[in-house]
Structure 1
Amino acid sequence: MNPNKTFLTSTLAAVVALGLSANAQAAEKKADGEKCYGVVKAGKNDCKTLSNACAGHAMEDGQKDAFLVVPKGTCERIVGGSLEAPQGGK
């Protein structure tokens, strides 16, 4: 096998493995956590909001309809954190 092709194949395999590992860690975090609304930094939310359809698209810091998954029992200890999603809009 060509050395360049071998390098490319092993690099691609490593990237795929890292992606799978990150997905497994995210799933574990969500299983052991709770949604905490209103504590995100712009662009750092974990899932869709009332105003957009993708993770990582919060428009502003502290956006009330965006959440992060945090360890259980943590959200209510964070200033501005809420276990309840806002009704309606932001």
Structure 2
Amino acid sequence: MSSTIKITALAASLATAALLASAPSQAAGDQAGAKEKCYGVALKGHNDCKAGPGTSCAGTASADYQGNAWKLVPAGTCVTQGGTLEAHAGNARPVPHRG
């Protein structure tokens, strides 16, 4: 076997091992609970899909903390992060709520 083929085979093996190693954590995350749309916490260009007027899909928020742009977060954590469960005007930085 040539060294190029050995390196390619090794790289493929490592990639497969990494994929298999991450699979259980992804499955655990899916089982961990429901998600909710959290408005006003996404950074510019990092919103999830269908954010609202002016944002056709994921990654299209034009400002940090845009009130009509949302991210999926674990259910029950949006308000504690300073977000809202409904779209709102403005793009003020979220203030986390403790308690």
Q: TM-score, normalised on structure 1?
A: 0.59
Aligned pair in 2 of structure 1 residues 16, 78: CA closer, same or farther (>3 Å)? closer
Structure with the greater alpha carbon radius of gyration = 2
C-alpha RMSD of matched pairs (Å): 3.2
1:8 maps onto 2:5 in alignment: no
Q: CA deviation at 1:32?
A: 2.8
Q: 1:49-60 maps to which residues of 2 (within 5 A)?
A: 49-50=51-52, 51-54=55-58, 56-60=59-63
Task: Tell me whether 1:34 sits opposite 2:74 in the alignment.
Answer: no
Q: Distance in 2 between matches of 1:21 and 1:59?
A: 35
Give identity over the alignment, percent: 35
The offset of 1:28, in angstroms, is: 4.4
Partner of 1:76: 79
Is the alpha carbon distance of 1:78 and 1:48 closer, same or farther for their aligned partners in structure 2, counting shifts above 3 Å? same
TM-score by length of structure 2 reads 0.56
Give the unaligned 5+ runs of structure 2.
Answer: 92-99
Tell me which residue corresponds to 2:97: none
Deviation at 1:61, TM superposition (A): 0.7
Q: Structure 1 residues 8, 78: closer, same or farther in 2, change over 3 A?
A: closer
Query: Could you say which residue in structure 2 is the equivalent of 1:64?
Result: 67
